[in-house]
Structure formats: structure tokens, C-alpha cells
Chain A
Amino acid sequence: MAVAQAPGQERAGGESELSQKPLLTPGQLIWRRFKRHRLGTLGAFIIILMTLVTVFADFIGPYGVGQFHQQLGFAPPTPIHFIYQGRFSGPFVYGVVRTFDPNSGAAFFREDTSRIYPIRLFVRGDPYKLLGLFPTDIHLFGTGQPDSSDGQLFLFGVDRFGRDLFTRTLMGGRISLFIGPLALILILILGIFFGGLSGFYGGWVDILIQRLIEVLQSYPQLPLLLVLATILPRGLSQGVRFLGIILILSITGWTGIARVLRGQILSFREQEYALAAKAIGASDWRIIFHHLMPNTMSYLIVISTLTIPGLILTEAALSFLGLGIHEPATSWGLLLSAANNIFALSNHWWLLIPGFFIIVSVLAFNFMGDALRDAVDPYASIRG
């Protein structure tokens, strides 16, 4: 194929053509085709950015994840000002005062413009461990005011208990973004294992596995996940519950992949290289997982990126319904469940902000998966 032809290089014919062509590995070819896909690269860029932000969430977020300001429950996002009394004074915020509307009795927040609180970089705040290793109390930005003082900075507003939604949204990404890839690993293991066995051996192994898949696929996914999630004992620690959710997601998620792999293995196992491997006495295990499975790699890469967004959405739905991640841990779905209350929602629109993080991350994975699907297709040539 003309894929590897660099611009300006004409077909010289014969052997010289071969020697002049830059030799690219399949990986480099995939990367080349992937780069051409603008939305795909944008998606990959967003995923990397979001991952970095979540990893450094406690540094970037101005507050601790459980730090609360009792007086400021449901405070709206803090407006950032630049001009104070006609003079440019850099980014700053005002303190807010909770007042009551004399007519309706509803609480709202008024800015107290008598004093300004400049926003500074690298301020001291709630102590935490950077990357879980280095204890520090320096946050990327903030006003550096103590909890009880005025002049707090809440970019996304405050929840019912007075916790900063910006910090909690970033911290929620740790669960929402990472649960997908982690569950995916288990899903791939289950899918490859059962798909491989089913396709290679056929017979009663195949019938048994297909029957199992059929039963699992007879359930609508969400109701099955919900009833499985009720098994998790109450009072599990946060970490164990997180693992439990991953387990549940993978138990219900591997069947589609196993079906496709079975079909592929079924067609590969009759090919000559498989017979050759058998002839030199390779074990079944070796033939399935070293000779046959590598051929399904392009499918696996694509299905992996396209499975993750579904897992992110499913975790969000589970946590939203109260059967996924529990307080005090946080995830985007769990944060949104605070908005599932007509009073809280209609007066506090900022409770919806975590939803946009779900949308953007799912969109990014979908774009990337779509680009990868085109890129790994060995029969596709580079188009215009």
C-alpha cells in the first residue's frame, strides 16, 4: 500500500523503492492515521488533560474534599472581579453574606463590597498528600483565608453541607474517570478467556459458555446491575466498595466481547499457522493466547476505547441512583444525585455542573474510539 510513501517520493520501481521507503511499524502506521483524525486527537488531548487534573485534584482544588463551611451551604459560584472602585486590582472576590428575602423568606447571598480578597497562587490551605506521597498544604490558587473568614472562593458554588463543588468535582473524577479503565481490564480478561475457550474448543465448553452469555444478555443491563449492587454489604470501606462496583460492572460487561472473540478465534483456529503451532506441539493455552489472540488486537483496541464511555455512564447512573459510590467518597454521578430534589435543583443550578464533566469525558472517549477504529483498520489507506 502507498501508506508509507513520504511526500515528494515518486515510485522508482524495483528494489530501490523498497529501500527508500521509510519503514514503519504497524504501530507507527496506526499513529499516523490516528493523527489525521482531528476530533480523535482532540478527544485524546482532553482525556490526558482530565486525567492530569484529576491526579492533581487536591493540589488544583482550593479546598479539602471534606472541608465544609457551615454558614455557606448552597452558596452560588463566587463571582470573580477585577476592578475595585474604578481601579484594576487583579482578580479578587468579595465576601458573601447570607440574607433573607423579606417577602418570600428564601435565603440568598449578597456580596459584601466593603473589602476585597485577592486570588493568589500557591496559597496554604487544607493539608493533603500530593500523589498520595508528599504531605503539603499548598494549593494552586485560592484566597488563603481561614475557613471561618469571609472571602472564600467557590468556582462551582457550594453543596448543601457547605463543601466546595469545584474541589469535589475534580476529586470525583478520580472515581468516575478511573473506574472505566479498571473495569475494562477485568472485562477484557473475562472476555478473552471465555471467548477464547469457547471458540477454540467448541463442543460442550462452547455450549456452556454460550448459554451463560445468553442468560446474562437476557437481562436489561441497568436492572441487573442494580440488583447486583444491592449484594454489596453495607458498611464496606470506600476502597472495597469501589472494587465491588468494578467487579459488578465487569461481570455484566464481558459478554459482547466474548461473543465477537469466539467468532474470530473460530475462523483463525483452522488457519495454517495455528495448525503449524499445533504440529510443533504447542499447548492449547499457547496457541489460543500467543498465536490466535494477537490477531484480534485491532478489534480489542477499538472495543476498549468504545467500552470505557459506556462504563463511565453506567457508574454515573449507579451512583446517581444511590447504589454505586457512597459518601464520603465522591463521583460525578453521586454529585448529581444531590440535584435530584426539586427544591435543591430549581434554586441551585450549579449542582448540575458535574454533569458536564461526564458529557465531556464520554464525548472525548467516543471521539478517540471512532478515530482509532479508522486508524487500526489495516485495509484503510490514508484519505486526502
Chain B
Amino acid sequence: MLSYVIRRLLLMIPTLILVSLASFAIIALQEHFNGDFVSQLKLNPRVSPETIERYAKNLGLDKPWYVRYVKWLEGTLHGDFGYSFAKRQPVGALIMQYLPITLLITIPTFFLVWLLAIPIGIYSATHQYSLADHSLTLLSFTGLSVPVFFSALVVLYLLTNWGYPAVGGIFSQQYIAGSAWPWTWSWGKFVDYLAHLWPAVLVIGAVGVAGLMRIMRGTLLDIFGSQYVQTARAKGLPERVVIYKHAVRNAINPMISIFGQSLPAFVSGSLLAAQVLNLPNLEIFYFQSLQPPDEYVIITVLTFFALFLLAGNLIADILLAWVDPRVRYD
């Protein structure tokens, strides 16, 4: 097992290098077609070409992209992820500033989604073809069909017209000052955070609940048809035991593999929700760095996302081996 994990971790390295290389090539293409970070200055007649040239030289933009990429790659080895042109700060420090907001939003959403979706899926499967099951199925289909940004807009519309104060951002004005890492928390700040949090959780989580409950329902229904469930029923076990000890226990395994695959949806959902609800998270920071290309921010955050997804998949595989004794990695 340990050797398997180590092998997987080692295999991640070339993948991440390829991901970062491809990302940088994409940025280079963008710079080729739409101009690099300093090219916007050329529109300003008061800035002389010499100034622009000097500025570009300062930022290292006079060198070809592959040279800049290799330099970035070298830097990552000792924890230097380059420099943000727009924010004039090291990228590492900026990520440390935005990542906590992402975690503050994503972790509660994640747990809520799983805590809701599993019981709803079980309920739906055990009451198959009942009115509740049909309604839940219809609801989940609808949940999967609503764009995240649209539900965010609707929530924003309802909350502002209702006069709800804590909409937009993740902290109110008076608490923002203390929100540089490491944070100072107070009870008031925590309540303020919760008041801002729930609309975001609702918007980002709805799609997740809809998708996961359908998978849970389907998996469980498949298992209800299997012979060991029939056996369990035939030997007179109470229905509760049949469902929770025999069926649900086995339905959890495929759900764990889903865990890894569900992570990208959280990234995409957070980005769209953040755009509407004004959440200063890492996803929206990435989006705002795209144009004009703040290249070290883009490449670092993209590689970071990839690392996050690969790690998520690895954790899912490890969990699966731990939960399901039939799974062996040798």
C-alpha cells in the first residue's frame, strides 16, 4: 500500500510538470494574439516606447516564453512561484491570501453536500416510485439543469429585495481588516461569516446534492437487486439492518470513487458563484488575472488546481482500499 502511494505521488510530478508546461504554452499563445501584460500601456500615448520596453524588461517579458517557464519551474523548487504583475506581490503570498477564503467556502459546502445527498439518496431509493421519490428525482433533475451563476443571481435578487444585509463578500466591511492571514476571529466575525456563507453554500452546493443523490439512489437500487440483499431479507433480518448494514455499506464504495471526480465541480461552481456574490476566493482571483495575462498567477493557480484534483483522486483511491477489503493495490 505504502509503495503504491509513493508510486502515485511520484507519477504526479511529471503530470504536474506537463500541466504547467501546457498552461504556460497557452498563456504564450494568448500573449502572441492579444498582447502581454505591458502591451495595454501601448494604447496610452503619454507612455513612451522606451518606458514600455524598460517595464517589460523589468518584468522579464523580453525573454521568450520557454525561458520564463524554465525560470518559473526552477523557482518552484525553492518555493518561489513568481511575481504578480498586477498586484505587485509574490504569487505565493497572494495564494495564501485567497486560498483561505476558498477553503472557508468550499469545506462547509462540501460537508453539507455529502451529509444531505447520502440520506436523501437512501430515502429516495428505499421509497422507489413513491410520490416523494418522484418529486426528489424531478428536483434533482432540475438542480442539475440550473446554471450556478443563475441560481446565484436569483438568490442575490431575492436577498437584496428582502433587505438582507449580509450579501456579497464573505465578511462585512468592519471585519475585512482582520482577514489577512493569519486571521483574528471574534464571535461577531464568526456570526458575520455564517451570515455571508449560507447563500454561497446554497448556490454552490445545490448542484452537488442533486448529482450525488441521484448516484446514491442508482447505486443503492442496483444493490437492492443483488442476491445477498435477497438472502438477508430471506433469513428474516429487520429491514433496517438489510438497508444500512448490507446495502448502504456496499453503496458507499462507488460513492468514494465519485468523491475524487466531484472536486472539479466545486472549483467551477465556486468561480461562478464568486463572480455573482463577490466572494474574494482563489478561483475569482484566477479569473481576474486572465486578462491582461498575469502569467505567473495563471500558471501557479492552474497547477495548484491540478495538484488539488490529483491529490483528491489519490485520497479517494486510498479511502477505497481502506473501506473495501476487496480493493488491493500491489
Contact = CB atoms under 8 A, between A and B. Distances in A.
A, B in one complex: yes
Which of the listed residues A218, A231, A317, A349 has the most CB atoms from chain B within 10 Å of its own CB?
A218
Interface string B248-272: 0000000000000001100110011
Nearest to A313: B147
Interface in A254-301: none
Contacts of A358: 145-147, 150
A263 to B, nearest CB: 16
A188 interface: no
Interface in A203-249: 211, 214-215, 218-224, 226-228, 230-234
A233 B34 contact: yes
Given A218-B15, A321-B275, A358-B147, A232 B153 contact: no
Interface stretch (A91-99, A106-114, A155-163, A360-368): A360-368
A226 B153 contact: no
A222 B157 contact: no
Contact of B267 (A211, A222, A227, A342): A222
B272 A234 contact: no
Interface in A280-339: 309, 313, 316-317, 320-321, 323, 333, 336, 339
Contacts of A234: 33-34
Contacts of B29: 231
Nearest to A363: B145
A130 interface: no
Contact of B30 (A231, A316, A321): A231
B276 interface: yes
Contacts, number: 131
B290 A215 contact: no
Nearest to A233: B33
Contacts of A228: 26
Interface string B289-330: 011010000100110011001100000000000000000000
A359 interface: yes
A345 interface: yes
B22 interface: yes
Nearest to A211: B18
A230 B30 contact: yes
A352 B276 contact: no
B27 interface: yes
Contact of A366 (B19, B23, B145, B290): B145
Interface in B51-83: none
Interface in B145-198: 145-150, 153-154, 156-157, 160-161, 168
Interface string B11-42: 00001101100110011011001100000000
Given A320-B272, A359-B142, A220 B267 contact: yes
A253 to B, nearest CB: 13
Contacts of B144: 362, 366
A345 B153 contact: yes
A346 B272 CA distance: 19
Interface string B96-128: 000000000000000000000000000000000
Contact of A221 (B30, B145, B148, B264): B264
B15 A214 contact: yes
B228 interface: no
B286 interface: yes
A355 interface: yes
B268 A227 contact: no
Which of the four size classes fits the interface of chain A? 35 or more
A20 interface: no
B290 A230 contact: yes
A340 interface: yes
Contacts of A349: 157
A320 B66 CA distance: 33
A358 B146 CA distance: 7
Contact of B33 (A214, A220, A231, A362): A231
A320 B151 CA distance: 13
B35 to A, nearest CB: 9
B4 interface: no
A234 B161 CA distance: 38
A227 B20 CA distance: 13
Contacts of B146: 355, 358-359
A211 B12 CA distance: 12
A191 to B, nearest CB: 18
A125 B238 CA distance: 72
A64 to B, nearest CB: 27
A363 B144 CA distance: 8
B141 interface: yes
A27 to B, nearest CB: 27
Given A233-B34, A346-B161, A352-B153, A221 B147 contact: no
A219 B23 CA distance: 10
Contacts of B27: 227
A274 B283 CA distance: 48
A161 B266 CA distance: 35
Given A223-B283, A233-B33, A320-B272, A366 B154 contact: no
Contact of B302 (A219, A342, A366): A219
Given A228-B26, A359-B146, A346 B157 contact: yes
B149 A219 contact: no
A230 B147 contact: no
B268 A222 contact: yes
Contacts of B287: 223, 226, 321
Given A222-B267, A309-B145, A345-B156, A215 B272 contact: no
Given A234-B34, A358-B146, 9 more contacts: A214-B15, A218-B309, A219-B306, A221-B264, A223-B301, A228-B26, A231-B33, A316-B147, A363-B141
5 contacts: A220-B267, A227-B27, A227-B298, A232-B33, A366-B141
Question: 8 nearest interchain CB pairs?
Answer: A222-B268, A362-B145, A220-B264, A220-B267, A355-B150, A233-B33, A218-B306, A363-B145
